[in-house]
Structure 1
Amino acid sequence: MDEFSLNIDSRYECVLDAAEKLLTVLEQNNIEEHIKNAFNICLTEAANNVIKHGYKEEPGNEITIKLRKEGDYLVLEIIDEGLPRPNLDIPDLEFDPEDIDNLPESGMGLYIIKQLMDDVNYFSINGKNYFILKKSVS
């Protein structure tokens, strides 16, 4: 698999386009359906979080999306220059998924990402934020 790289603007509709392009690349590389779905959900959630929290919903800011294969893993990187996260505390949420009226108000996106990926990492260097997600394809 060649590295896939895409720059998008910090608008929600751009995230939808990016997710479609990512799915196309995954399909072209014969990636299993459940793995494609996991990356689709995680990219959408992570990029939307960058727009909402990092860029405060202001368009005109860049988000870089990269996908590559490293050994038995697919690695998705979401890179931005928005406000950095203070940490990557991913709560272990306890809730009844059947009771949709009482789902947690915050932290759900990161919780879902943690459940779908094998490894989740976040760091900031020189004004850039890196959110790196890994999923085994072996």
Structure 2
Amino acid sequence: MNIKQFSINSEYKNVSSVCFITKTFCEDHIVPEATIREIELCLAEALNNIIKHAYKGNEENIINILLEYSENKFKIVLEDTGIERANLDKPTLEFDPEDVDSLPEGGMGLFIIEQLMNEVNYQRIGNKNSFTMVKNF
């Protein structure tokens, strides 16, 4: 098992850097390219959600990131001290793909994460939000 831990300020500009670090970590552990793309997409969605919803766009906060690789499994844990997330139930999106106006206003990011990851878990522990995503390959 290999672990990488680091923290970032809650700024949108840092999301691409985290994705690059994660991609490199995955490549170092021979994670399949298609899996890396799915991990990057889910990670970007989750980080953007933390910045937008937990921290309300305030850039002066910290997001702790843990990347963990074990054989055929990649785990990401994101921790923040922002607003507790309500309604993180598994989203179900109902819309007509032929009708752009019927696309939902929100929830697409969480829907994508739920579709691409094998395990998704959110917990409030004390004053921290902990969001875990696991991808098997």
Q: Report the counterpart of residue 32 of structure 1 in structure 2.
A: 32
Q: Report the counterpart of residue 13 of structure 1 in structure 2.
A: 13
Relative to the length of structure 1, the TM-score reads 0.91
1:72-111, aligned counterparts within 5 Å?
Answer: 72-97=72-97, 99-111=99-111
Q: Report the counterpart of residue 44 of structure 2 in structure 1.
A: 44
Aligned length: 137
**Post-superposition offset of 1:87:** 3.5
Residue identity in the other structure for 1:37: R
Relative to the length of structure 2, the TM-score reads 0.92
- Residues 6/93 of structure 1: CA separation in 2 closer, same or farther (3 Å cut): same
Q: Residues 66-95 of structure 1: CA distance to partner in whole angstroms, max 9, x if unpaired?
A: 111355421111110000112421221133
% identical aligned pairs: 42
- Residues 72/32 of structure 1: CA separation in 2 closer, same or farther (3 Å cut): closer
Determine helix, strand or coil for the equivalent of 1:94. coil
Unmatched segments (≥5 aa) in structure 1:
none
Aligned partners of 1:90 and 1:107 also within 8 Å: no
Unmatched segments (≥5 aa) in structure 2:
none
- Work out the CA distance in 1 between the residues paired with 2:29 and 2:98: 35
RMSD, aligned α-carbons: 1.6
**Post-superposition offset of 1:98:** 5.6
| Worse overlay, 91-100 or 81-90 | 91-100
Query: Which 4+ stretches in 1 moved above 6 angstroms?
Result: none
Residue identity in the other structure for 2:3: E
